[in-house]
Amino acid sequence: MSEILLADDHAVAPIAPAFTCGLDATLKVISGKWKPLILYFLLRGPTRYGELKRAIRDVSDKVLIQQLKELEAAGVLRRNDYKEVPPRVDYTLTELGQSLAQALEPLCQWGTDNMAVMQKLFAERDGWGRGRD
């Protein structure tokens, strides 16, 4: 972070580095293999950790917990601890998170519309590496 200097050389509060564009700002929040899926599944409403873990196949507990913490720090989700025994915690999107998750919906639709084509292309690409051995 850098400081802003006033004309009399007095420093004021630090500011975050500038983004090159809106997409850069968005990618800083959603970078990470599982973050877009986390946001997608949280659009359904409050979701417990176990539900997220089952919905997002192949993610390890360590990585899921880390990415949930990063999204919480970015202000797009809220961790709700009900202070009960046994422990009960769920995750919800903040208003900012709702708008971000909704912005990802067209990407989801694109993936749905092109899933068969992508499966074919990835299968062909994976075959290229095996044919060279």
CATH number, domain with residue 38:
1.10.10.10
Q: What is the token pair recorded at 60? A: 């390890």
Using one digit for the tens of pLDDT, what is the confidence trace for 30-50? Answer: 999 999 999 999 999 999 999
Q: Is 133 part of a structural domain of the chain?
A: no
Cα–Cα distance measured from residue 18 to residue 1, given in angstroms and rounded to the nearest whole number: 10
Give how far Cα 8 sits from Cα of 5, 11, 14, 53, Å.
8, 9, 17, 54
Q: Is 14 part of a structural domain of the chain?
A: no
Report the sign of the C-alpha dihedral through residues 83, 89, 93, 97, in that order: positive
Q: Is 51 part of a structural domain of the chain?
A: yes
Q: Is 9 part of a structural domain of the chain?
A: no
Q: How many domains, in total, are found in the chain?
A: 1
Q: Is 6 part of a structural domain of the chain?
A: no
Q: Is 5 part of a structural domain of the chain?
A: no
- pTM summary value: 0.77
**Domain residue limits at 87:** 20-127
pLDDT band at 126 (very low <50, low <70, confident <90, very high): confident
Q: Is 1 part of a structural domain of the chain?
A: no
Q: Is 15 part of a structural domain of the chain?
A: no
Q: What is the pLDDT of residue 1?
A: 47
Using one digit for the tens of pLDDT, what is the confidence trace for 39-78? Answer: 999 999 999 999 999 999 999 999 999 999 999 999 999 9
